[in-house]
Amino acid sequence: MDKADITIIGAGAVGLACAAELAGEKTRLYILEKNAFFGAGGSSRNSEVIHAGIYYPAGSQKASLCVEGNRLLYEIAARNGLPHRQTGKLIVAANAEEADRLEALCAQGRKNGADGLEMLSARQLNALEPAVHAAAALWSPRTGILSAHALMEYYLTRAEADGARLVCRTEVTGAEKEEGGWRLFTRNDHGRTFDFISALVVNCAGLSSDTVAGWAGGRYRLRYCKGDYCVVSGVKPGLVSRLIYPAPRSSAAGLGVHLTIDLAGRMKLGPDATYIDRREDYRVAPSKAALFHGQARSFLPFLKPENVHPDMAGIRPKLQGPDDAFADFVIREDAPGFLNLVGIESPGLTASPAIGRFVRKLLAG
Ligand SMILES: Cc1cc2nc3c(=O)[nH]c(=O)nc-3n(C[C@H](O)[C@H](O)[C@H](O)COP(=O)(O)OP(=O)(O)OC[C@H]3O[C@@H](n4cnc5c(N)ncnc54)[C@H](O)[C@@H]3O)c2cc1C
């Protein structure tokens, strides 16, 4: 490999979705990934929820790419037999004030194009989910769950069928502009270094995407925001069959501790949102079990402290600090031939097929 037409840095859901869209028989496309496998970063440490696009400001890329991604993901999953389930989601209000906020959220979601949103009374909620307690709820039928790994495998298979090559255990350590493209410097996990020229670079480096963007003059500063999960055990399987979220608080960096169900029917609480130093520490403190139980028991009254156990964690690459206003995804060519995707936090998995298409159209001019 001495020359590439396109190099994608990072083999997470977004890098692979871009590869699937950009690969072509006549294009030498490489995906470079520092880990031993694809999808070992944020893309394997999330809730695997297909979001509907409710929460984000109208006109933002988070809203539009999420709504488009939602539609595309159900199509892709159905057509290719990817494990998924359209569970639907209930956002629950504890009181009349929260119910008013859900009405506003419902209007926001409809404006964004999220289909089928509906306010439910306590009685209607009870008919759907008798084990859940709330004064009212916002019902989102387009929310669901899917296997993130199967989705990434699908993207990679598509990209490889069109001639793309995934090179793992290879970190890109720097880039310099040269005649004909960008010289990329790499190091493999045996410490061997190697460099080559790529006409086009697409930065999908997740938690490192601000550093990578900096090589091409992009000035971004990501904040790491950790989300811990707890697993629920000892509860009757199927007691709750939809995803249950509390009403969001405006200041919250996440969506509040909520209940998700994975494809195996396992219930999980989380993720919460804690800004941390810039390091990848995925340990979950044992104290999170009691904390999550305390936050969720008002709407999930069947939960007992002994049902909740610390599980896994993920880290969001956020452009938004704890007290900052909303920050959108950044998808921008900061220097000719160097496209940066920065701050691709939630709903990045849902949005991934739409991001891939957006990048293809952007590069086609
Ligand atoms: C706790 C949590 C919950 C979430 N829940 C959801 C959800 O339910 N639904 C949803 O839609 N989204 C969710 N998200 C968001 C979603 O997971 C991400 O937006 C998405 O996975 C981002 O994919 P990515 O490819 O951009 O990043 P990543 O998956 O992090 O991939 C980046 C890759 O780049 C590689 N890399 C970095 N630097 C270099 C380098 N210099 N050289 C080579 N390789 C490099 C990394 O090793 C990594 O594999 C959640 C995120 C978190 C943290």
User: What long-range pairs does 251-255 form, CB within 8 A, spacing at least 24?
Assistant: 253/225, 253/316, 253/318, 253/320, 253/322, 254/225, 254/227, 254/316, 255/55
Domain of residue 287 covers: 89-141+223-318
Residue 216 lies in a domain: yes
In tens, the pLDDT along 149-190 reads: 999 999 999 999 999 999 999 999 999 999 999 999 999 999
Ligand 1 centroid from CA 94, angstroms: 33
Do 232 and 356 lie in one domain? The reply is: no
CATH code assigned at 350: 3.50.50.60
Q: What is the largest CA-CA distance in the chain?
A: 67
CA proximity to 89, closest of 298, 246, 251, 300: 246
Do 333 and 195 lie in one domain? The reply is: yes
Do 293 and 247 lie in one domain? The reply is: yes
What's the structural domain count of the chain? Answer: 2
CATH code assigned at 310: 3.30.9.10
Do 268 and 286 lie in one domain? The reply is: yes
Instruction: Sort strands 243-246 and 89-93 into parallel, antiparallel or unpaired.
Output: parallel
In tens, the pLDDT along 197-250 reads: 999 999 999 999 999 999 999 999 999 999 999 999 999 999 999 999 999 876
Q: Which residue has the tokens 């460099």?
A: 195
Distance CA 307, CA 293 (A): 9
Residue 27 lies in a domain: yes
pLDDT of residue 233: 97
Ligand 1 centroid from CA 10, angstroms: 9
Provide mean pLDDT across the span 94-109: 96
Helix (H) / strand (E) element for 107: namely helix 96-112
Q: Say yes or no: CB of residue 105 within 6 Å of ligand 1.
A: no
Instruction: Sort strands 118-121 and 136-140 into parallel, antiparallel or unpaired.
Output: antiparallel
Q: Say yes or no: CB of residue 186 within 6 Å of ligand 1.
A: no
Do 165 and 200 lie in one domain? The reply is: yes
Provide mean pLDDT across the span 16-38: 97
pLDDT of residue 255: 75
Ligand 1 centroid from CA 323, angstroms: 23
Residue 352 lies in a domain: yes
In tens, the pLDDT along 286-344 reads: 999 999 999 999 999 999 999 999 999 999 999 999 989 999 999 999 999 999 999 99
Do 239 and 301 lie in one domain? The reply is: yes
Structure tokens at 124: 């209607």
Q: Say yes or no: CB of residue 339 within 6 Å of ligand 1.
A: no
Residue 75 lies in a domain: no
Do 174 and 313 lie in one domain? The reply is: no
**Helix, coil or strand: residue 259:** strand
Distance CA 102, CA 67 (A): 19
Instruction: Sort strands 274-276 and 136-140 into parallel, antiparallel or unpaired.
Output: unpaired
Q: Say yes or no: CB of residue 254 within 6 Å of ligand 1.
A: no
Q: Which residue has the tokens 């004030």?
A: 97
Atom of ligand 1 at shortest distance to CA of 271? 1
Do 209 and 175 lie in one domain? The reply is: yes
Residue 94 lies in a domain: yes
Q: Say yes or no: CB of residue 172 within 6 Å of ligand 1.
A: yes
pLDDT of residue 250: 63
Do 247 and 290 lie in one domain? The reply is: yes
Enter the DSSP assignment of 266. -
Enter the DSSP assignment of 358. H
Ligand 1 centroid from CA 193, angstroms: 25
CA proximity to 31, closest of 172, 149, 210, 150: 172
Do 231 and 192 lie in one domain? The reply is: no
Do 178 and 314 lie in one domain? The reply is: no
| Mean pLDDT for all residues in the chain | 96
Residue 108 lies in a domain: yes
pLDDT of residue 2: 76
Residue 365 — pLDDT band, cuts 50, 70, 90?
confident
Do 246 and 308 lie in one domain? The reply is: yes
Residue 58 lies in a domain: no
Nearby residues of 161 by Cβ (< 8 Å), 6 or more positions away = 23
Residue 12 lies in a domain: yes
Residue that finishes a domain, picked among 284, 301, 318: 318
Ligand 1 centroid from CA 81, angstroms: 23
